[in-house]
Structure 1
Amino acid sequence: MRGRSTRNRSAAALTCIAALGALTAGCRNDTAPAWEYPELGTALSSLSRDLDERCGPTATPAGCAKHLDGLTAPTERAFAEVLDHKLLDVRTVAAMNDLDRARAERFTAGRAARARQEPHYLPFRRAVAAEELAYRRMLSELERLRTAPPPGDGTDPV
């Protein structure tokens, strides 16, 4: 009889220890939602894929410029997502400003190329390449923001 009582006490003690461990684990913030913002990740991978496919090494400057114009709306949606999640920082703002400047330079160079009736006008080609590079920098900045862990490791006690 005595052996059974000892086993019951041991089982009860183990159950209490397991319950305390579960309660302790439950008081941590490790069940918080994923901070990697999957919607933003989808938008960024789509933008990156579009940029790779449409402005590859075989694309003409005019063709690439046309496709860059089509990336404006998805880029603004991704940037709006960053604002919604309050992820904005100085580097991202600088990357967006660089993109805006590169786009303005491309428009100016495009007008000059059309006036000269020269689709492979060197300043236009350079402006298209600069805008493509600005898009890539902006995408890498947004990806950096998306994947940066929140302050702490996200499992701080509540």
Structure 2
Amino acid sequence: MQSKLELQQDLQLIALLQRDLNLVTAFLLLTGQISIVGIFINPGDFNLSLSGPIFGRARLESKFSNEPFINTVIDIIDVIIAVLLIIDEIQVIGAFIGPRRFSIVVSGPIFGSRRHVPTLPCLKREYKFYKKIVTKYFAVDPTVFRNI
């Protein structure tokens, strides 16, 4: 059985990885690689979907090329989302995988959602499931999973 100190260190590592995901997502937003592409509305909260060419989806832009105002508004929204990620008001909570495209989903208390905190009870089970699915359906070097 792991000691409480080891458990705390593992939880801190997961929290750091989640923080890094937030910062990378903010960087992708600020560089225009991804943009807001949708909103998931749930009872009591909402989540934002972010995607772009880097994830196989076109960047969200105005339908009319002669209206730069709409593109500017989209860029401003992207900057606001990036700032919220950087100051840790929202965080990456998941991913949406569709046919030939991928979206990052973000939310947080500012959008009515609870703050997601790292937990370990399900982590090992989910890791084993992920490893099984990925190695079964995708060509992945098996040494990748030995080093994790």
TM-score (norm 1): 0.31
Bigger-Rg structure (1/2): 1
Q: What TM-score results when the alignment is normalised by the length of structure 2?
A: 0.33
Per residue, is there more strand in 1 or in 2?
Answer: 2
Larger helix fraction of residues: 1
